[in-house]
C-alpha cells in the first residue's frame, strides 16, 4: 500500500502532467504580471531585451515540449535594480496566442498555470 502511495505522489509531480501544476487566476496575480500578460497577447512592445526569448525548461517543471516551444517574459518587480525573479513563461505558436502560460515568482523554482 505504501508503494502505491509513493507512485501516486511521484506521478503528481511529473512535468508532462500539466494538470498537476497549481492554477492561479490571472486577476489574482500582481498588477505587473497582469500587465506583462497583456503585452504578451498584444505582441509587445516589451520593456526588457530578453523578453520573448526561448525558455529551455532546464528545470523540467513544465510539460515537456521541443526546444523553442516556450518563451519567457519578465514581470517587473517594484524596487528591483535588475529584472528580478518574477517571470511569465508561455508556450505555443504564435506567441500572441499561447496554448498555456505559467507564472513564477521565484525564478523558475516553481510555477503556477495561469487561468484566464
Active site positions, annotated: 72, 107
- Residue 63's alpha-carbon distances to 57, 102, 113, in angstroms, are 9, 11, 11
Residue 107 carries which DSSP code?
A: T
* Pairwise CA distance, residues 22 & 64, whole Å: 17
CB-based contact 59:81 (threshold 8 Å): no
Sign of CA dihedral 44, 47, 53, 57: negative
Question: The cell 516556450 sits on which residue?
Answer: 70
Amino acid at each position: 500500500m505504501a508503494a502505491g502511495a509513493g507512485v501516486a505522489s511521484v506521478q503528481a509531480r511529473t512535468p508532462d502532467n500539466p494538470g498537476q501544476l497549481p492554477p492561479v487566476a490571472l486577476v489574482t496575480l500582481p498588477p505587473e504580471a497582469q500587465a506583462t500578460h497583456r503585452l504578451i497577447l498584444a505582441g509587445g512592445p516589451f520593456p526588457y531585451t530578453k523578453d520573448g526569448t526561448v525558455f529551455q525548461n532546464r528545470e523540467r517543471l513544465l510539460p515537456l515540449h521541443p526546444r523553442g516551444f516556450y518563451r519567457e517574459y519578465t514581470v517587473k518587480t517594484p524596487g528591483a535594480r535588475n529584472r528580478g525573479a518574477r517571470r511569465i513563461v508561455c508556450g505555443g505558436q504564435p506567441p500572441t496566442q499561447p496554448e498555456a502560460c505559467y507564472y513564477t515568482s521565484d525564478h523558475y523554482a516553481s510555477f503556477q498555470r495561469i487561468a484566464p
